Structures are given as structure tokens and as C-alpha cells.
Structure 1
Amino acid sequence: MIVEDLKEFLKTAKPSVSVIGLGGAGCNITTWIKQKGISGARIIAANTDANHLALQKADKLILIGEKLCRGMGCGGYPEKGSEATRENAAEIKKEIEGANLLFIVAGLGGGTGTGAAPVVADIASELGILTIGCVTVPFDMEMSRREKARDGIKLLTEGCDSVVVIDNSKLREAAGNLPLRDALAVANALVGSFVRNITETITQPSLVNLDYADLKAVMEKGGISAIGIGEGDGEERVSKAVSQALATPLLDISDMGATYGVLIHIVGGEDLTLEEVAVVGEQILAKTPNTRRVVWGAKVDPNLTGKVRVMAVLTGVASPFITGEQVVAQPVKELPKEVVKPMREAVEAIAKHEEEQLAVLTKPAETRKEKIERISKAAVFSREHK
């Protein structure tokens, strides 16, 4: 095969990737991805709220349930979200048909995202598409919404190969005194970063390419997945980043030792070496000894010279939140300072680097009065956005 033929073959050999955002939070995430720019993926935004949908950035906008919802949303009812999505099932099928990989992104706990995601997953499953759900879960204080989210995840796992779950309460534990709006924005940025990084690593040349077949092997039938992030600098930057990523995954896990697979994405400056990439994999494997599959990809970001950032996705995990063992919301636990500080710094680094408009600032420990006021404001915000 001559060089020209090989280049032509490579154009058609790249996996086709689609990303669909469902509901308000899902569309916000796909807009974030579109604005940041992504190579190798088609972006679709779908919502029952016409006003919100009109503000989104995507390659394709779909107003779902036009007859049922009349462009005014689902009112927080997942059943209505499901019915609205079925109304547009043929259109959605046409838009995702031909894709090798589909990311379904949504915030669960409301009506459209919670109801639509399982329906889209079923459509993708019928088409034989490798489907990864990427969802966020409401805070502990939003008990009724968390119940809806848990039910939505259970349905979503039936159609998805793997569902990556980010619990906003775990993000709050890790990052400390993040304002509510900033915490939601950081959660969206984490989902967006995951989708963007994985897509570009399998479709674009990287320091270490993540092969589509490898991604499929670790995510296919991977069940529930948790994500952890870490960043390190200095001589021990790799160890620091790995320790942080595994110390506080953004979803409660019953037993990390029972993890089925690990997907690792590494980003570093131009001084990142292949030896460091290999060490990351070795260290994570040492901390998840029963893991059956470990795959990784790595890319260079000139803005991270002197640092290493690790995103670890643990697949096939058991979570007490999802199994129902944690039905009643528990108070946020105080994590050890040696865990909170580096994890918070890593989350803030992503917010500052990936989403410059977020002002994630370190604040002094709040007083009891300040804490009561913050929780009260958050409760009002939650009710207004149901």
C-alpha cells in the first residue's frame, strides 16, 4: 500500500463519534464542548424546552416532544421526558446512525435528561453503537431529585455499555467551599473534559493514542463507572497525580478492589515522558490489583509544563448510592486535609484551565451562621430550578 492510499484509508478508518446532550444540563455540557472545540465528533443537543434549546451551540438541535410539551419542558417528570423522546425516536435514530461511539450526556434528577437518556440509549443499543452515558447527580439536599436520578441511572445502564457518574455531593466534599453555581459549572466542565479528551485521543494523533478497540474492551458492558482526577508537580508529580485521582472518586464506591477496568487519560506539558506515562499505568494497576483491563492514552498540552494531570475512569464499580444502600442523604464527611487540599487544587485547576470564566476561589472556613445561610440559598436555588 503506497503512502497516498494509506492516508486515504486512515480518513475512513477513524471511528465516528457523536455526542448528544439531553435536557438543560446535558445541553449546557454539549455547548461547553462545542465552544471549546472538539476534533472528531458531531455534537447534538436535544431538549423539551425551546427557549433553552435556542441558546445552545451544536451541529444539530432537536426540539423533542413538540406535540406533548409544546416547547415548555417536562415540569420535572421523567415519564414525560421519556414519552417526549419517543415522539422523536426516528429523528434521533437518523442523527446517530452510523456512529461507532456515542456519548450521552445529561444531568439527572429532572424530567427531560432523566427520562430521555434511557430512551436514546436503547435506540443506540439497537444500532449496535458503543454507548457511554456521562451523567451528573444532584446534591444530597435534593433528596427527591436524587431518588429520580438513581432510578434514571438504573434504566440507563440497561441500554448503555457504561455509565460514568459524577455525584455533585462528592465534588463538594472534594472541592470544599465552592459556590453552588460554580460547583455545577465545574461538574459540567469535568464531563465535557472527559468526552473531549477521550474523543480526541481516539481520533487524533497523540503522545499515546487510545485505540477504539481498547476503549471498547474496557467500557463495553462496564456497568457503572466512577471518575477521579489528580494533578501533580515537582519530582513526585506522577505519584501525586495518581494518588489524588484514586483517593476521592466522584462517586461512592463499595470496593475499589472489585473494579472491572480502568481507563486512564494523562495530560502533561512538553516535558511529559513516555516513562512517566508508563509509571502512571503501573501505579494505578498496583492500587486496583483485581482489575482485568487497563488502557490509557496521553496527550501534550503546552500550558501544563512541569505538571501531570491524570483522569482515571474506574469501570464496573459497585456504588451504595445506586444500589440503594444509601437511601437517606448523609451529612458531608470531613475528608483528611491531605486528601482535600490536592483534590481541591486539581478541581480548581480544571475550572481555571478549561473554563476560564469560573472564579473558583479558596475561602476561609465558614462559620455556622454562614453555613446555614449558604444551605438556605442553595435550597431556594434548587426549588427554582426543578
Structure 2
Amino acid sequence: MGIFKIADDQQSHQKLQGPVIKVFGVGGGGSNAVEHMVQSHLYGVDFICANTDMQALTKMSSPNAVQLGAELTRGLGAGTNPEVGRQAALETREQIIESLKGADMAFITAGMGGGTGTGAAPVIAEVAREMGILTVGVVTRPFPFERRDHLADQGIEELSQHVDSLITIPNAKLLKVYGNKISLIEAFKKANNVLFEAVRGISDMITRPGMINLDFADVRNAMRDRGLAMMGTGIASGTDRAREATLKAINSPLLDDIKLEGATGLLVSIAGNEDLGLEEYTTVGEIVEPLAAQGIAIKIGMIVDPDIGDDIRVTVVATGLTKAQAATAGVQATATAAARPRAPLGGMPAAPSRGYEDFDTPSVLKKQQAAPAPAQKPAESKSDLLNIPSFLRRQQSE
């Protein structure tokens, strides 16, 4: 009887708790990113740090830690060798499974280009997907001065085979935003913050109470088996805050030149205090709606964040992007795992470097300059669907 009572209690807890989201930081870069999220009080998620370097692992605040390859590396790290990181994760497979149990969604975060993150992250992602967990990779490419692009390319290629969606953040773009004179410590802090915003932008859609909710099914449908994804976040205040925050999000360097028209899923989250109004919701929707082609589901939610003050935060997540679109954005391109055979780690040539000459031109303007004039649409009658905005009609049709 006691066993059945425990099961009943667990089921009741899950009903109250909702979807379980876990953030799995892999290697030094991934663990540091998780540490930043812990210190920033990311809401409604569980944190796990995994590393081959035992000394670094003991410094993390996360209560959940997995030492990878204790026998193989003896806690001394992977020595910038992804194959050691991979073997260490395979050795620790059972502990990884145990740490992921109960999760509905898992973020696998790592800094690509090192040994542990590059080698172990694909193994952990593969385990998560085998367990039926919605698996999203959120990783950084190294700064140019680190000279580890070839390792990063190999790791990203391998990781792309084992995640539902993959957000790849090139640290080089942070240098474009903050300048080359930024200190090394500050540069890595900025990189950690970008990872934090990427995870928060998606997890808040699910975990935060909402005036207009995006449930877990919405997020799962938009991110399952979608391949490359990108995100942008904008924050603004004042009388025109909704418009300003949305424009910042869609013109974010992380979305620079991404053709949202080709995305197979588009998620938008609006966060603010209890004064958020329907007019602001409509403003965001009307700005985002023209960016997506007909037939693409646009899901927009409004969540209450009591800590945001008078600001409004708009997060745009575009999924299902193709290689051609990603190349335009200057981001390492990946495709859906089922669309191509698995490549061995270390078997992919380094990706060509991209140019950023037109970085300062907002992506919306660049798309307007490059795109042909759209065909004239027949005018709708004023009474058509009671003048419901088209982005709302898209949501209703889903």
C-alpha cells in the first residue's frame, strides 16, 4: 500500500508542478552558464552541472552535479580533447539517465570548442531524446581569439544530430556589440548572460503564470524535430515600450538577417507587470505578424513577471530554420536530426568564416532591401472576421 501511496503523491505533485524543465550545463562553459542562471534566480527549472574537472565542479552552486568519466579522467578534465569528453559521458551514462528522470524538457548548454562540452554534450542530448524528453541545445561558438572554431564546428555538427532544436550563439557577435576593448572576464559574463536569456526566454513561456498562456504543448510543437533555431530579446520602458521592445528583439544581433519567413515555428513571449494591456499585446502581434509567411503558426503569450518593474520584455523564438537562412545570419547551420545521417565527432571540416560588414543595418531593413515587392493581395472587406488582426486569426486557426 505504501508504494501506491507514494505513486499517488508523486502524480499529485506533478499535476501541481506542471512540466519539469531541466538545464544541463556540460563542461566548464556550460557549468559556468548554469552558475550564472542559478545566481540570476531563473524561475521554475532544475539545474544540473556535469564536468570531467572535479575541482571546477565543486565550485558550482547547483545542488545537482554529475562527475563525468571519474575512472577515465580521474577528475582532471578532458584536456581540450572532445573524444575524451565523449568517452567520459559514455562511462557515466547511467548517472546521466538518473539525473534526467522526470524531465519533460531539457536544455543542454555548453561552450563549444573545449573537450568536455564538445564531446559530452551530444551524448547527453542523445540520452535525453531516447528518454522522450524535448531536448534543446543552447551553445556558444568560441571567441575568435580562442582559435577553436574547428572543434566547435565538429561539436555543433554532432550535437545537431541529437537535439530537437539547436540555438547556436557566436561569441564573435558579442564583440561587435560591446567592442574589442571589452575585458576577457566581462566578455565571458556577456556570453553567459546571452545563454541565460535564451533559456529564460523559452522556459518562462511555460513556467510563468500568464494572462495569455503558451502551454507546454505549444512549445513542444514549435520545437520538436525542428533543427536550427534562433532567438532575440528586447526590453523597453515608457509609453511606446511594446513597440520598442519588439523591434529590439527582431533586430537582435542573434537574429541578424535571419529570414523568419522560412521558419516552421514562431514563439513570442511578452513579459511585464500586471499593467500589461491588450493594446500592447496587439502592438507586438502586428509587428511580428508580417515577418512570418502564411501558414506558419505564430504563438504569442503574455506572462506576469513581478520583478520586471515598469519594463516590458519581448522574446522571439524562431525554429525550423534552414541552412541557407542560417548562413545568411552568420551562424553555424544545422539541420533536423532525422534529415541526415550521423557524422562521427571530428569528421566535419571547419565551417567558413562569415563577414559582418553590414552588421549595423537592422535585419528588417536588409530584408526589405533584398526582397522583391510582394504581390498585391485582394482587399478584404471591413467586416471580414470582425476586423480581427491576422496574427490572432492565425492563432485561432491552430
Q: Provide TM-score, normalisation by structure 2.
A: 0.76
Instruction: Return the match for 2:249 from 218, 221, 245.
Output: 245
What does residue range 1-386 of structure 1 map to in structure 2 within 5 Å? Answer: 11-12=15-16, 14-143=18-147, 145-176=148-179, 178-250=182-254, 255-289=259-293, 292-302=296-306, 304-318=308-322, 319-320=326-327, 321-323=331-333, 327-330=351-354, 332-333=356-357, 335-336=359-360
The Cα offsets for residues 262-321 of structure 1, whole Å up to 9 and x where unpaired, read as: 222222244322331233133212123357222233333455444322221221223224
* Structure 2 contact 80–115 (Cα < 8 Å) conserved: yes
- Structure 2 counterpart of 1:41, which letter? V
Partner of 1:347: none
Partner of 1:378: none
The Cα offsets for residues 66-91 of structure 1, whole Å up to 9 and x where unpaired, read as: 11111111111111111110000011
Aligned with 1:160: secondary structure?
A: coil
Aligned with 2:62: secondary structure?
A: coil
Q: CA offset at residue 46 of structure 1? A: 0.4
- Structure 2 counterpart of 1:43, which letter? F
Q: CA offset at residue 253 of structure 1? A: 5.1
Q: CA offset at residue 220 of structure 1? A: 0.7
Aligned with 2:161: secondary structure?
A: helix
Greater Cα shift, 326-335 or 95-104: 326-335
* Structure 1 contact 173–333 (Cα < 8 Å) conserved: no
Greater Cα shift, 19-28 or 172-181: 172-181
* Structure 2 contact 153–350 (Cα < 8 Å) conserved: no
Query: Percent identity over the alignment?
Result: 36
Greater Cα shift, 276-285 or 105-114: 276-285
* Structure 2 contact 209–304 (Cα < 8 Å) conserved: no
Aligned with 1:250: secondary structure?
A: helix
- Name the CA distance, whole Å, in 2 between partners of 1:254 and 1:273: 29
Aligned with 2:59: secondary structure?
A: coil
Q: Between Structure 1 and Structure 2, how many residues are aligned? A: 333
Structure exhibiting the larger radius of gyration computed from Cα positions: 2
Provide the alpha-carbon RMSD of the alignment. 2.8
291 and 113 in structure 1: CA distance in 2 versus 1, 3 angstrom threshold: farther
Greater Cα shift, 121-130 or 314-323: 314-323
* Structure 2 contact 78–85 (Cα < 8 Å) conserved: yes
The Cα offsets for residues 150-192 of structure 1, whole Å up to 9 and x where unpaired, read as: 2212211211100111111122223335433222212212222
Unpaired stretches in structure 2, ≥5 consecutive residues = 1-10, 335-348, 364-398
* Structure 2 contact 107–199 (Cα < 8 Å) conserved: yes
302 and 78 in structure 1: CA distance in 2 versus 1, 3 angstrom threshold: same
* Structure 2 contact 82–120 (Cα < 8 Å) conserved: yes
Unpaired stretches in structure 1, ≥5 consecutive residues = 1-6, 340-386
217 and 181 in structure 1: CA distance in 2 versus 1, 3 angstrom threshold: same
